[in-house]
Amino acid sequence: MLSGLGANPLALALILLAVIVATTCHEFAHAFVADRLGDPTARHLGRLSLNPLAHLDVLGTLFFVLFGFGWAKPVPVNPANFANPRQGMLQVALAGPLANVTVAFLLGVIGRFVAPADSPLLQEPLAMLAWINVILAVFNLIPIPPLDGSRILEALLPAQHAYGYARFQPYGVVVLLVLLYTGVVGRVMLPAARWLYAVSTGGLAGP
């Protein structure tokens, strides 16, 4: 998807816009669920917002432009404020990917029932935005720290195993970078992402 973008600045601008929208919805969902469960940390830090500037990470955005992957600022969460810390973290972690799938579903509805089917100027941006949301959802479900999937797995594991898994946290970024560099992540992700895209958008013409 990112091949040849250097020669197509319009496509790059569209993808960057899609990434900003997708990451903003993702991080806002984390902050919203944490706040509803009793942790005001994100709200006090101005992260309970749909303003992209509240979530934008300059280095993460630069990495996306240069290398095709990046990140937003993670939402700070204090599980001690939850009535049930493990269940609270599970819900907060799930909120981000679910928000992206919801956005993809809504874009699919717009693409099928609102935007003219013969208008590529509308259909292509909708498809790209939906695809980026699906990619972000699937990528974050990988159970490697610091991705949401690691928080989900940790919350689902028995307490004694969760503690051992948590000790893996400091090495997660290195493992993730190696898997990205070797292409393992792409080979695992893309079939799942294509399936989820088809299901969530109901057949909106994809990238």
pLDDT, one tens digit per residue, over 35-70 is 999 999 999 999 999 999 999 998 887 777 677 677
Residue of 15, 25, 27, 200 marked catalytic? 27
pLDDT digits (tens, 9 = 90+) for 152-200: 999 999 988 888 888 888 899 999 989 988 999 989 999 999 999 999 8
3-state secondary structure the chain: CCCCHHHCHHHHHHHHHHHHHHHHHHHHHHHHHHHHCCCCHHHHCCCCCCCHHHCCCHHHHHHHHHHCCCCCCCCCCCHHHCCCHHHHHHHHHHHHHHHHHHHHHHHHHHHHHCCCCCCHHHHHHHHHHHHHHHHHHHHHCCCCCCCHHHHHHHHHCCHHHHHHHHCCHHHHHHHHHHHHHHCHHHHHHHHHHHHHHHHHHCCCCCC
Catalytic-residue membership of 124 = no
In the chain, % of residues over pLDDT 90: 60
Work out the mean pLDDT of the chain and round it to a whole number.
88
State the pLDDT at residue 54: 95
pTM comes to 0.90
